[in-house]
């Protein structure tokens, strides 16, 4: 048995895209930019080099997260790697590696500022003390 766990922290590169499968399961797709530090061989200076990671969330959490995340949001994601392969209409084989998220922690406020985040928890049953605002954390 192998270990398949991934932890990344970065910013969303686009607004998350919520879709549903034919069976009704919600699927949320998003991109996250994760910086890596590398020394430039020419200048000798350290530089931030972005890595772009596709992230997918399944189920009831997908719909709830779609309301709170947007391009630029800073998040910490814990999940597992999943590799998929397909053939395009021209008959060429394609593949990709993505992160299937198990946990997402908000590192930005809802207004897009930094800090003050919280871990996502699945929405609880409606409560009368929420004053009409749904906050999952």
The radius of gyration computed from the CA coordinates of the chain, to the nearest angstrom, equals 18
- The residues that bridge with 97 in the sheet, in sequence order, are 83
User: Does residue 101 register a pLDDT over 70?
Assistant: yes
95 part of a folded domain: yes
> Between residues 124 and 76, which one has the greater pLDDT?
76
Note the pLDDT of residue 1: 80
135 part of a folded domain: no
136 part of a folded domain: no
For residues 18-40, average pLDDT: 94
Q: Tokens representing 62?
A: 């997908």
Q: State how many domains the chain has.
A: 1
> Residue 1's CB: how many other CB atoms inside 10 A?
3
Note the pLDDT of residue 125: 37
pLDDT-wise least confident of 29-43, 64-78, 114-128:
114-128
Q: How far apart are CA 129 and CA 90, in angstroms?
A: 56
For residues 104-120, average pLDDT: 62
88 part of a folded domain: yes
CATH of the domain at 63: 2.40.50.140
Q: Tokens representing 3?
A: 């270990």
Of 51, 62, 56, which is closest to residue 10 (Cα–Cα)?
51
Maximum alpha-carbon separation in the chain: 61
Q: 129: which DSSP letter?
A: G
pLDDT confidence tier of residue 110, bands split at 50, 70 and 90: low
What range defines the domain where residue 101 resides? 6-36+47-121
CA 44 to chain centre: 33
Using an 8 Å Cβ cutoff, are 31 and 12 in contact? yes
Q: Tokens representing 88?
A: 């395009």
Note the pLDDT of residue 55: 97
């Amino acid at each position: 048995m192998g270990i398949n766990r991934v932890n990344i922290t970065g910013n969303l590169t686009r607004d998350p895209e919520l879709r549903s499968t034919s069976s009704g399961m919600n699927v949320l797709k998003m991109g996250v930019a994760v910086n890596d530090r590398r020394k430039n061989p020419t200048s000798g200076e350290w530089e931030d080099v972005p890595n772009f990671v596709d992230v997918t969330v399944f189920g009831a959490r997908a719909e709830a997260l779609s309301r709170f995340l947007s391009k630029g949001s800073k998040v910490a994601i814990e999940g597992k790697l999943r590799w998929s392969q397909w053939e395009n209409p021209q008959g060429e084989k394609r593949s990709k590696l993505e992160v299937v998220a198990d946990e997402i922690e908000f590192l930005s406020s809802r207004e897009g500022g930094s800090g003050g985040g919280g871990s996502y928890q699945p929405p609880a049953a409606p409560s009368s003390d929420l004053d009409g605002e749904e906050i999952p954390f």
